[in-house]
Amino acid sequence: MKKIGIITKKPKAVPLSGEIAQWLANRGVEVFLDADYEGENTLRSNIDKIELLMVLGGDGTILHAARFLNGRKIPILGINLGSLGFLTEITVDEIYPVMEDIIACKFETDERMMLSVDVIKKEGERSSHIVLNDVVIKGTTSRLINIETRINKEHVTTYRADGLIIATPTGSTAYSLAAGGPILYPTIHSIIVSPICPFTLTNRPVVIPDWMTVDVNVKGAEPNVFLTLDGQVNIKLNIADIVEVKRADSCIYLIKSPSRSYFDVLRTRLRWAE
């Protein structure tokens, strides 16, 4: 590894990123910092040169980094400075031993599937997006909304609910879990469809294979319905707008912790040991 990018979104991570950059430079590694820094060596202007992307922060910073890479097959090393850290597995104390292995190209990655989201407005305008965790359709008031849902063009039901979550296995431990969805091992290739507080209690989460497409159409007159992508991007939906969700062509590749398994992370983060 001779060219590494670093992304930071938390103010407390800025001094640490500087220390890491200096440590890497002392070992002959060229470092590119994210857009919050000035100069020609910014990460954004050199994204196609890097061999690895370090993320200093929490899971939200990983979600940002996944969109930032925009389909590039660049491995991501997540350093946990957040409160949960399902995706940022490496602790601050482990940074330099892990980096020694990475410079020597001694590491393994997990491939994580992503979702491709197309929003088709009733006027015909179309926009496309990529998400790692989940797609959420939800109203902003206390009213139930009607969400017509089709899977592979076959009518499933029209949910009367607070909203609907379409999640990847990576996102199964996020909002979908809070809505009663299952935990899926992150490298399984499946999609979870979870209603949020459905009026009909027999409307339960459904797991479908990753080759299927989910089409959603908001019905009724509720004026304040939004599509939220990975909890970070909001798009207002109007009546007759269609949201198409399917597996994306691209994936992200997370560097695995050398000292703990996914179940170690799960047990710690969900406090199963207490």
Q: Indicate which residues carry an active-site annotation.
A: 59
Residue 274 CA to residue 268 CA, distance in Å, equals: 9
Q: At what angle do helices 13-25 and 95-103 cross, to 10 degrees?
A: 40
**Which one-letter amino acid corresponds to residue 252?**
I
Q: Give the CA distances from residue 40 to residues 5, 50, 127, in Å, rounded to whole numbers and listed in that order.
A: 13, 14, 31
> Token pair of 264, please?
């170690």
Residue 149 CA to residue 274 CA, distance in Å, equals: 39
Buried b (16+ CB within 10 A) or exposed e, 160-170: bbbbbbbbbbb
| Of 201, 207, 238, nearest in space to 223 by CA | 238
Q: Could you give phi then psi for residue 87, rounded to 5 degrees?
A: -100, -30
Residue 258 CA to residue 105 CA, distance in Å, equals: 13
